[in-house]
A = this chain, B = another copy of it.
Amino acid sequence: MDIGFIGLGNMGHGMAANLIKAGHRLTVYNRSPGKADALVRLGATAAGNVAEACRADVVFTMLSDDRAVEAVAFGEDGIVASLPPGATHVSSSTISVALSERLAAAHAEAGHRYAAAPVLGRPEAAAAAKLFVIAAGAPQVVQPLLSLFDAIGQRTFVVSDRPHIANLVKLSGNFLIASAIESLGEAVALVAKAGVDKQQYVELLTSTTFAAPVYQIYGGLIARDEFEPAGFAATLGLKDVRLVLSAAEQLQVPLPVASLLRDRLLTLVATGGGQLDWSALATLAERDAGALASKASDHSA
């Protein structure tokens, strides 16, 4: 299949590489051009602009946020203006529900097909074709994409025939991760102040009731106070919690834990921790317990 791929960061690169390995012809594009080189060596064609990447049956976007997706989707030479009639845009970025709805409407008007397919997994999983794909769209749109999703992930969940629902489900997952981090940070602050070894505590939890990747990954970071370099920065975490709250407000669903997370992430960012991994939320619990009196208690200090 002829596939355009826009956005070649840590995640997009691995996904594009796996589509090439599965035998597809890829035209790849990234705003900063050096990103395409390794894929070109694998057989991809480098596009000089978004419009060139749109001469395809399917174009994927895998970008960092709403703004980046808007920049490539709309405007004179954007995806909506450039994609051939009948072709499909697959949006894999973690974007707002509102933008996904806007993309669906714009593509419908332009005679395109549109599906949302955000993914779960980190860069290593993207490289190893071990992502989980959360897909949504009209059955006739999604059906032909399934083999592409199989090429990039270990399992695909089709959650709705309305594309933006996949974005909602993805955001809800990030909300759940943030809430696990916050709770874990509070629990660690509590037992650590009582003298329990943090590493042993996390080992206990993750060997028993909480033997899930999310507690293992973030528990380890918290126990080791290892917040740099960020796997996922606090500023991005704040953005995602804001997007969840915004979608929830549209649907009129109060989410008290998400509100608390928003305040905590905002505190972390406001006190200078925006570039730390979002698991640095745990430092706030420690700080409020007075346990940081002898450490720097302000990230900007």
Which residues from chain A sit less than 8 Å from chain B, CB to CB? 120, 132, 134, 155, 157, 159-160, 162, 165, 168-169, 172-173, 175-177, 179-180, 182-184, 186-187, 189-191, 193-196, 200-201, 204-205, 207-215, 242, 244, 247-249, 251-260, 262-264, 266-267, 269-272, 285, 287-293, 297-298, 300-301
Contacts and interface: CB of A to CB of B under 8 A. Distances in A.
B267 A263 contact: no
Contacts of A176: 183-184, 187, 205, 209-210
State how many copies of this chain the complex holds: 4
B263 A201 contact: no
Nearest to A159: B196
Given A196-B159, A298-B293, A209 B208 contact: no
Contact of A212 (B186, B215, B248): B215
A254 B184 CA distance: 13
A67 B249 CA distance: 18
Contact of A214 (B157, B175, B209): B209
A298 B300 contact: no
Contacts of A258: 186
A157 B253 contact: no
Contacts of A210: 176, 212, 214
A177 B252 CA distance: 23
Nearest to A132: B208
A156 B254 CA distance: 38
A220 to B, nearest CB: 15
B169 A179 contact: no
B212 A191 contact: no
